[in-house]
């Protein structure tokens, strides 16, 4: 048994020194292997991308809008690209283009009255900043909230479930994106009986530097689109 133990030792080399030599040889092989792997990776173009180049890439803008010096526009970017000037076209099905009840354009301070007795006024114009962080929220964007009172002095019930409100802002009259993640937001809804009044609050992403706009209120397919314009003050 003693012969089997001494057969693996080199003559004249102590046991402790032999172990040290083996450790050094193993470490040298490990370093050589690592160096070889780096050389191979260096031949791969994908592996030689500069870390500085990747880190310098600009992050996505969380609040897109006009850059300094550009024409003012809606915070968060336009809600859509308008096909033409004036109120946006709303597809309400066949026959809705008749819109028998007419209304004259007014300022924000005046009352819009349709030919059948329905009327609407705007006000409030509360300013704020979006703090919500949910999906779709443009956190940090400024907004304006517009109160809309609709009074029915006609002889018929008026449905309010399909009201469409649009706000155009800036020199290019771009549609401001609506904001629904603000506590004040509340669309007009339900059915408005003769003699009753309904109130809704429409919130749009509008920068603090924008103080005037044009607001369109499209009630239904029977009433022409009401136009309000002027200052928010």
Predicted TM-score (pTM) of this structure? 0.65
Question: What structural domains does the chain harbor?
Answer: 106-231 (2.60.40.1240)
Phi-psi region of 161 (alpha: psi -120 to 50; beta: other; left: phi over 0): alpha
pLDDT classification of 83: cutoffs 50, 70, 90: low
Which one has a higher pLDDT value, 30 or 191?
A: 191
Q: Which residues of 170-202 are buried (b: 16+ CB within 10 A; e: fewer)?
A: beeebbbbbbebbeebbebeeebeeeeebebbb
Residue 57: predicted pLDDT: 32
Q: Record the tokens describing residue 206, joined without a space.
A: 């509008």
């Amino acid at each position: 048994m003693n012969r089997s133990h001494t057969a693996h030792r080199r003559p004249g080399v102590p046991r402790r020194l032999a172990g040290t030599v083996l450790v050094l040889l193993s470490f040298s092989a490990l370093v050589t292997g690592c160096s070889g792997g780096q050389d191979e990776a260096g031949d791969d173009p994908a592996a030689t991308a500069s870390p500085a180049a990747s880190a310098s890439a600009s992050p996505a803008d969380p609040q897109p809008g006009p850059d300094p010096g550009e024409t003012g526009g809606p915070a968060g970017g336009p809600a859509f690209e308008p096909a033409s000037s004036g109120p946006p076209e709303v597809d309400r099905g066949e026959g809705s283009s008749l819109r028998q009840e007419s209304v004259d354009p007014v300022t924000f301070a005046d009352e819009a009255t349709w030919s059948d007795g329905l009327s609407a006024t705007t006000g409030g114009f509360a300013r704020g900043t979006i703090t919500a962080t949910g999906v779709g929220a443009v956190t940090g964007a400024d907004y304006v909230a517009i109160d809309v009172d609709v009074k029915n002095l006609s002889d018929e019930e008026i449905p309010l479930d399909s009201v469409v409100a649009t706000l155009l802002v800036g020199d290019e009259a771009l549609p401001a994106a609506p904001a629904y993640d603000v506590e004040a937001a509340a669309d007009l809804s339900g059915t408005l009986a003769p003699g009753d009044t309904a109130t809704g609050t429409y919130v749009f992403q509008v920068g603090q530097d924008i103080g005037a706009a044009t607001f369109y209120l499209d009630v239904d397919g029977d009433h022409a689109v009401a136009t309000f314009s002027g200052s928010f003050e």
